[in-house]
Amino acid sequence: MLRAVRNWCLAVVVALFVAPATAQELKIGLASEPSAMDPHFHNLTPNNSLLSHVFERLVETDPSNKLIPGLAESWKILDGNIWEFKLRAGVKWHDGSAFTADDVIFTFERAPNVPNSPSSFATSTKGKTLKKIDDLTLQFSTPGPYPLLANDLSNVLIVSRKTGEGAKTEDYNSGKAAVGTGPFKFASFTPGDKIEMVRNPDYWGTKAAFEKITFKPIKAGPARVAALLAGDVDIIEDVPTADIERLKKEPRIALSQGVSRRVIYFHLDQFRDETPFIKAKDGGAIKNPLRDKRVRQALSKAINRDAIVSRVMEGVALPASQFLADQFFGVSAKLKPVAFDLEGARKLLAEAGYPNGFKMTMHGPNGRYTNDVKIIEAVAQMFTRAGIETSIETLPPAVFFSRASAGAGGLPEFSFILVGWSADTGETSGSLKPLVGTFDKDKGTGSANRGRYSNPALDAMIAEAQATVDDGKRAGILAQAVEIAIDDVAIIPSHYPINTWGTRKGLKITPRADEYTFVMGVTKE
């Protein structure tokens, strides 16, 4: 019945299809609203994607995640641990001042130290010493050989020292400090409503094809589709899986798809003796069962990944065995998705001393990832069938990430969460270090380790991989590290999304592995 009503509503919208926005203005429907206009406040894809229009990086990535020149026009290794970057000449900030090495140095001082950051950029900035050679030449030094330096730099948006000194996140949100070098200038940010940008006529690179862009957060999938069909927006991201087949048949709509570098997974509290959202079946206190590997294995076996992909994701995903899909660097060919085994899960729980299971509350965001609430609901039912009586609580993304990172005395608040991670280096090092590296703010490891998993042997292997210049050797070390993490159930992977964008006829958007909805990748047909 619900599907029939949904289809009827879409049919009505198609009939009312109106003329698209003018060729000089582009309107985009976002699935998730950025949490701030401060490019260093929250290392989160919606923030990084949108702010890439205003700010730029020294090293950029193409749609397939290949490194390409950005504000640095070239770079080279002088020896094993010193890299030299030549900055692009003639680049101006939006206020007309010149871009120099001083801005980069300031950025790397600021990025890991923004107050109240739910997930900082410390993983990309720590362990690097910057030396100014001249206004357009910088040297980066690391304690030892570090082949991923350029990859790390592709994650950090550069801000102006002139407007950024003393600026707080609120100053970026208001636009006071939101001065970049990118193809668009910040115009306005109205939380819950829209973000507006205007073309930068003095941009150093290829000028944008649109004079103005308006990003409209439209959390509900059906509402995004309706807005696209009605002509209220020209592009939407995260097309609901339930609507893909219908939209493929709509002549006035075009779809673009690509496999993401993201994994949807579950993080587990592995550091507290008693975890706040797990109780005995009678409601009494129990020791944290998630610290027992057998319980973690049971939870993984209780998840029917094929059902999640086929039913919840309607085929627009791949079952996950590890941190990245097969085509990415540093994955293990030995790992396969854990098979659904309900009896095996029950047996492991009994062996761990929980023959009758326990009670657990699972937390997650509502509206951050494709079908996130549906996934949480489905997995809660799967766990309950295995004997773990599971209730759920979903929260607005900004609230969820804040509490999941540091909501209880500065520590992760929840016991078991659904979350997603996009490997910003384009290889498994970009997941291992922040997600399962031991949390150490000074070293920049474990920056998104919301389960506080810690394994010194794994830490050593991650460090070894990051110091290995030879790509073949590094790939092998990373694969071994992945195997250790997955065998120990440091996280529980669920699936890899296949991202889908929808555009009105006459426009085409290039799908990106990083999931960015980037206007410079939009062309007019």
This prediction's pTM = 0.78
Which amino acid type is present at position 368?
R
At residue 20, the pLDDT reads 39
At residue 15, the pLDDT reads 32
pLDDT in 10s for each residue of the chain, 525 residues? 334 334 433 333 333 233 333 459 999 999 999 999 999 999 988 999 999 999 999 999 999 888 999 999 999 999 878 999 999 999 999 999 999 999 999 999 999 999 988 888 988 998 899 999 999 999 999 998 888 899 999 999 999 999 999 999 999 999 999 999 999 999 999 999 999 999 999 999 999 999 999 999 999 999 999 999 999 999 999 999 999 999 999 999 999 999 899 999 999 999 999 999 999 999 999 999 999 999 999 999 999 999 999 999 999 999 999 999 998 999 999 999 999 999 999 999 999 999 999 999 999 999 889 999 999 999 999 999 999 999 999 999 989 999 999 887 889 999 999 999 988 778 899 999 999 999 998 888 998 999 999 999 999 999 999 889 889 999 999 999 999 999 999 999 999 999 999 999 999 999 998 999 999 999 987
User: What residues contact residue 276 under an 8 Å CB cut-off, 6+ apart?
Assistant: 408, 413, 414, 415
At residue 23, the pLDDT reads 54
At residue 109, the pLDDT reads 96
Which amino acid type is present at position 270?
Q
Residues 253 and 509: beta-carbon distance below 8 Å: no
At residue 327, the pLDDT reads 86
At residue 3, the pLDDT reads 40
Domains of the chain: 262-498 (3.10.105.10)
| Main-chain phi, psi angles of 40, to 5 degrees | -115, 5
- Helices 293-301 + 372-386 axis angle, to 10: 110
CA–CA distance, 463 with 220 (Å, rounded to integer): 41
Burial (CB count <10 Å: 0-12, 13-18, 19+), residue 404: buried
User: How many CB atoms lie under 10 A from the CB of residue 129?
Assistant: 12
Helix (H, G, I), strand (E, B) or coil at 144: coil
Token pair for 105: 């140095």
At residue 398, the pLDDT reads 87
At residue 6, the pLDDT reads 40
